[in-house]
Amino acid sequence: MQGQKYGRDTEIVQHMRPEPMTAREEAAQAGIDDTEFEIFKHKMHMIALEGKETTMKLGASTAMRWGDVAFGIFTGQGDLSVCATGIYHHAVLGQIPIKYLIKHWVNEPSVGCKEGDSYFYNDPFYAGVHNADMGLSIPVFYKGTLLCFVGAAVHTGECGGSEPGGTVTAAKSKYDEGILIPPIKIGENYQLKEDLLNMLAAMNRDPRTMILDIKARLAAARIAERRILEVVEQNGVDFFLGGLRRILTQTGEAAKRKVASLNDGVYRQARFLDTLGEDNGLVKINLTVIKKGDKITLNLEGSSPMLMDRPANSFFQGILGLSMVYFCGWLFHDLPSNNGLLEAIDWVFPEGSIVNATGDVSTSIAPLVQVTFTHGMFQCGARMTYATHPSRAVASWFSGFSIPTFGGLNQYGEPVADITPEINATGCGGRYDMDGVDAAGAFFATMADCSDAEATESDRPFIYTFRNYFDNSYGHGKYRGGAGVGYGVAVHDTNFFMLGSHGGGAKFPTTQGLFGGYGLPALFVRRVQNSNYKELLSKSDRHLPARLTEVFTDQNPEKGDVWHQNISAVVKPAKDGDTFYAYAGGGAGFGDPLEREPESIIRDLRNGMVSAWAARNIYCIAFEALSLRLDKEATELRRKAVREERKRRGKKWADFNKEWEAKRPPSEILTYYGVYPDPGTKAHGTDAAPVAASA
């Protein structure tokens, strides 16, 4: 026993960048031939890919099934050297649990670390962005020497919180969130401990999926272990250790080179989140990006204070993790995804803020705080890159969430609890030379897909009432954002079921436009209890909505107890035939809509991708309503008139600012905001913060 402190280890989470090179790694460098290193690197990549594919094949939860998987090879010190994933936050977050177990358990006699061991974890303080992100890793030994760790991290859709589906909207502290496990040993001698599996299953509404997901991670890790040992047999231990380290070093150097190629500058983007969990409220995520030389600094000072009894908090490491989503997918897409990238990144997080949570506060909807931050990252990144690398300047993909969550018994009487896969049906933002992609995926899980309706209906107790593009889901622009998918589900063949939803942006849009492009409209969900939907369906009622837009027309014959509510909605009982409508948001617009080619708007009109109202009032084109024939001359005149009108509305900066400064949101939504407009939170060691008011 080493005198464990038993609590979260605030020191280990500071180890985000690569650990210093060990003497053995350093000594090995001289013996590594450049060509053989490239061969080794490709082999490691192959091993990681095999691990990722295996995890995905064997897992059972929604995220696992649809590719939201990360598989990594970590150095003996815990740094992530090689990673196969489309969810890039794992590129820097996956290492922390490994560093934790190295620090706490390797030399702890009651736990230890031996060949055949396996470790499990889901405490978001170490493991990921929230406690639905669960991981499993194993040490790899060669003739008694610890070489490295391998492991997989995936979102398992149910974690036994006080609400089903992995997120607890009404959480007041971390004790409401369900399973919260710091790295523990879950297996020894190449066997999982059945008593621990049984315990985890007992703490979870969907035990079968929980166990299948754990086994999937382990199976993939074991295969990777075998492969690595083969490589070591061939290349030797020193080559392997030195090679893993060199991948990290090279990545860091490459990231710095890439950053150095951008113009220096300071880019600011304040972002606002409109939900605290189950209730409304405005909080601020204040991002300043400073690019100087070969470094980018992310400064989040001035963000709202930490929420003591609401789940909209994030650990700082989660924010850093989400910054990697932007960096790996958009800026560093041609570099390996590992925590070496952080050599080019600095960060400043204010104490006691929602972006730097401490203590026992809940972080159950941390992903929402994090994607609100990421949206700021996209905005700053676009401005930072446009002059030198314009293809990198992309308007934001949908940067909120809008996900039905559910739990109960399915049509076969089997327990299920998860989210629906349309989380991965959001739109991509407009680009400098083309529209965003309709239903492109999810920016934070770039290898994931949104499933077939049939696959979901096969073991989830609902039927989709429709699933089509939603023409009011994206931001307009010279290049419009890609549309998201609107859908409805009706509970089918069960009466033991709960439905709710997770997300933000119902009051204040989560996703703004870029360079004059429009942001997204506010999102919502609609719930109909005691619905007559199934009766109407049995008659093939021709007025039943086939698109989300039609849900809100007078012709919609569906009756029942109708609720329009915030996306952030705690689950409620639902019975056979009840319906629930939601949509995945689209991407933001790029550039002024008045510059959009009129023919593109007509094409969108024909395909139902833009409303006639938006065509006339936002794009300001003139066309004949029935034939959709464009009137070019009238369009030019109309656009000219709108531009003139804009000029007339223009104000001098000082006048505008004076008016703007006088405005403020209603006080009832600022309860958790802190001092308005600048909450004034500061990083440790900087000037003392002004009063950071909080409930």
**Which 212-231 positions form the footprint of another protein (CB under 8 A)?**
212, 215-216, 218-219, 222-223, 227
> CB burial class (10 A; 0-12, 13-18, 19+) of residue 454?
exposed
Give yes or no for residue 576 binding another protein (CB under 8 A). no
CA distance 143 to 597: 66
Q: Applying CB under 8 A, which of residues 5, 14, 31, 39 lies at the interface with another protein?
A: 39
* Token reading at 50: 């095999």
- State which of residues 175, 190, 563, 656 lies at the interface with another protein (CB under 8 A): 190
> Do residues 525 and 501 lie in contact, with contact meaning Cβ atoms separated by under 8 Å?
yes
Confirm or reject binding of residue 552 to another protein (CB under 8 A): no
Residue 608 backbone dihedrals phi, psi, to 5 degrees: 70, 25
Q: Which is nearer to another protein, 171 or 344 (CB)?
A: 344
Residue 628 as a binder of another protein (CB under 8 A): the answer is: no
Q: Is the peptide bond between 677 and the residue preceding it cis, with omega within 30 degrees of 0?
A: yes
- Residues 441 and 417 sit within 8 Å (Cβ to Cβ): no
59 makes contact with another protein (CB under 8 A): yes
Kindly tell me which of 53 and 636 has the beta carbon lying closer to another protein.
53
Q: Which stretch binds another protein (CB under 8 A): 90-98, 165-173, 433-441, 667-675?
A: 433-441
Question: Is residue 519 within 8 Å of residue 588, measured between CB atoms?
Answer: yes
Determine if 384 is a binding residue for another protein (CB under 8 A): no
Q: Are 474 and 484 in contact (CB under 8 A)?
A: yes
Selected range binding another protein among 292-300, 424-432, 593-601, 616-624, rule: CB under 8 A: 424-432
Which CA distances in Å does 523 have to 297, 311, 472, 583? 32, 20, 10, 8
- List of residues 6+ apart from 463 with CB closer than 8 A: 457, 489, 490, 492
Would you tell me how many other CB atoms lie within 10 Å of the CB of residue 106?
A: 14
Q: Which one of 34-42, 161-169, 306-314, 588-596 is the stretch in contact with another protein (CB under 8 A)?
A: 34-42
Q: Minimum Å distance from CB 634 to another protein?
A: 24
- Min dist CB 396 to another protein, Å, is 12
Q: Does 394 bind another protein (CB under 8 A)?
A: yes
Q: 601-627 burial, b for 16+ CB within 10 Å, e for fewer?
A: bbebbeeebbeeebbeebbbbbbeeee
From candidates 26, 264, 414, 659, binder to another protein by CB under 8 A:
414
- Among 253, 279, 576, 631, the residue binding another protein under the rule CB under 8 A is 253
Q: Which phi and psi angles does 646 have, rounded to 5°?
A: -60, -45
Residue 203 lies near another protein (rule: CB under 8 A) = no
Q: Is position 465 an interface residue for another protein (rule: CB under 8 A)?
A: yes
The interface with another protein within residues 581-620 (CB under 8 A) comprises 606-608
115 is a site residue for another protein (CB under 8 A): no
**Which residues, 325 to 354, sit near another protein by CB under 8 A?**
329-330, 333-335
Q: How far is the CB of 209 from another protein (least distance, A)?
A: 6
70 lines the binding site for another protein (CB under 8 A): no
Cβ distance to another protein smaller for residue 126 or 378: 378
Q: Where are the beta strands (DSSP E) in 351-393?
A: none
188 part of the interface to another protein, by CB under 8 A:
no
Instruction: Identify residues 435-464 at the interface with another protein (CB under 8 A).
Output: 437-441, 443, 446-455, 457-459, 463-464
Kindly report the length of the chain.
Answer: 695
**CB nearer to another protein: pick between 452 and 595:** 452
Give least dist CB 304 to another protein, A: 29
Which one of 72-80, 104-112, 413-421, 619-627 is the stretch in contact with another protein (CB under 8 A)?
A: 413-421
**How many whole angstroms from its chain centre is CA 460?**
23
Residue selected from 22, 24, 29, 49 as contacting another protein according to rule CB under 8 A = 49
Return the number of the residue (361 or 437) whose C-beta is nearest another protein. 437
Q: Which is nearer to another protein, 311 or 577 (CB)?
A: 577
Residue 243 CB-density burial (10 A; 0-12 exposed, 13-18 middle, 19+ buried): buried
DSSP 11: T
Please report whether residue 252 would count as binding another protein according to CB under 8 A.
no
Residues pairing with 305 in the sheet: 353
Q: Which of 38, 360, 597, 644 binds another protein (CB under 8 A)?
A: 38
- Angstrom CA distances, 149 to 52, 115, 365, 562, stand at 15, 11, 29, 52
- # chain residues binding another protein, by CB under 8 A: 100
Q: What are the residues facing 487 on neighbouring strands?
A: 467, 582
